[in-house]
Structure formats: C-alpha cells, structure tokens
Amino acid sequence: MRYQLFRDDDHSQPVAQSDEYHSEFKATDWAREWVKANGDHDRYRFQQVDGGRPMLLLRTVAGQWYVMPLAKQVAA
C-alpha cells in the first residue's frame, strides 16, 4: 500500500507520498523519518492513499515525533 502525508492544517495537497509498503509499521517508520528530515510544521496527518485509517504525527516541545491513530467521526 501507498501512504500520504498532509500538513494537519491543510489536507488539500499531500506533502509526501510513500513507496509501496506491505506493513503499516514500515510505512509509519517512513513517515516519522520524513517529518524528522523535512517537517516544517508540528502536526501531520498520515494515511493510506485509498483513505484507510488516518493517523496523526505530532512533534513535542522536546522535538520527539509521536504517531497516534485518529478516532473515526461518529455520525450524529
């Protein structure tokens, strides 16, 4: 599967797209390394190109990057 990274404040255009990964774990490693090297913002959204489960990459004040799944929106 391919994955995309978006700035969390702008979901209109991806800032990066991954190669093909067969493991979400490997794709998450790719995303974390990309934001460490290229990130100019402290929050990114990460998800499969086909719209799978989104995740948030968040940089702490200390400069560490964490990845956490975003909750699905519940219909009211």
pLDDT tens readout for residues 39-55: 899 999 999 998 788 99
| 8 A C-beta contact, residue 47 and residue 29 | no
Give me the number of domains the chain comprises. 1
Distance between CA atoms of 16 and 12, rounded to whole angstroms?
12
Residue 10 located in a structural domain: yes
Domain presence at residue 76: no
Establish if 23 belongs to a structural domain: yes
pTM as predicted: 0.83
Q: Residues for the chain: how many in total?
A: 76
Residue 74 in any domain: the answer is: no
9 belongs to a structural domain? yes
Residue 25 inside a domain? The answer is yes
* Integer Rg of the chain from CA: 12
- Give the structural domain span for 46: 3-69
**Which pLDDT band, with edges at 50, 70 and 90, does 26 fall under?**
very high
| Average pLDDT of every residue of the chain | 89
- 63 DSSP assignment: S
| Span 3-13, pLDDT tens digits | 999 998 888 89
